[in-house]
Amino acid sequence: MSWTQTIFEVIDMRSFSNLWFWIALAVVWSTASHWVLGVPFDMLTRARKDGGEARQDLEDIVRVNVNRILHIAGVSGLILLGFVCFVLTALAILGFVYDVEFAQALFLIGFPMSLVGALSIRTATVIRRADPEGEELDKFLIRHRQYTQFIGMVSIFVTALWGMWQNLDRSYLFNAF
């Protein structure tokens, strides 16, 4: 047996049994819930607590990011939508029809993140239309973060169930019966 075969037997390189996949999943969702429309959540808590200049900074950065998100969606939204749908469809077919575990893992991260992207565009549209300030703006941002966290919790739960099933299905003990 060569040294590469030994390494690949000792360190399982499949996605769902790999610690690095689960670390990446946790980082993706913690980052997504921390950055609300491109604004760090600690900036919102500081603006709520201190007010004044912190509040003005929050409103300015939200305005800039809302305009940026809506500009990107308006200019290249259809192209991005087509590309994201193509990639997600390719990952779904590779993963669930052809049983490529890496594609399954990427799909289980990418699909819920595309929902968060759509939610961000929707929230940016609502914020631009309502033009909220102060506590009303806080409510929009907090609600967006809560929806993102809910999507993340469901995504992590489904990914964990699917990963456990894949690990059991590919284990020697499970297939012995």
pLDDT value for 169: 84
pLDDT digit string (tens) for 4-57? Answer: 776 666 555 578 888 889 999 999 999 999 999 999 999 999 999 998 999 999
Residue 176 binned pLDDT confidence (cut-offs 50, 70, 90): low
Q: How many angstroms separate the CA atoms of 45 and 55, rounded?
A: 10
pLDDT of res. 83: 97
Q: Would you say 32 and 116 are in contact if contact means Cβ atoms under 8 Å apart?
A: yes
Q: Locate 38 and state its tokens.
A: 């491109």
Q: Is the Cβ–Cβ distance between 79 and 98 less than 8 Å?
A: no
Q: What is the pLDDT of residue 17?
A: 84
Please state, in angstroms and rounded to a whole number, the distance separating the CA atoms of residues 103 and 176: 26
Mean pLDDT of 87-111: 96
Q: Residue 168 has which token pair?
A: 């059991």
Distance separating alpha carbons of residues 37 and 157, to the nearest angstrom: 24
pLDDT at res. 18 = 86
Distance, CA of 142 to chain centre? 17
pLDDT band at 113, cuts 50/70/90?
Answer: very high
- pTM here is 0.88
Question: CA 33 to CA 153: how far, in whole Å?
Answer: 11
Q: Where are the domains of the chain?
A: 51-165
Lowest mean pLDDT among 50-54, 124-128, 155-159: 50-54
User: Rg of the Cα trace of the chain?
Assistant: 21
Instruction: Return d(Cα 99, Cα 10) in angstroms, integer.
Output: 23
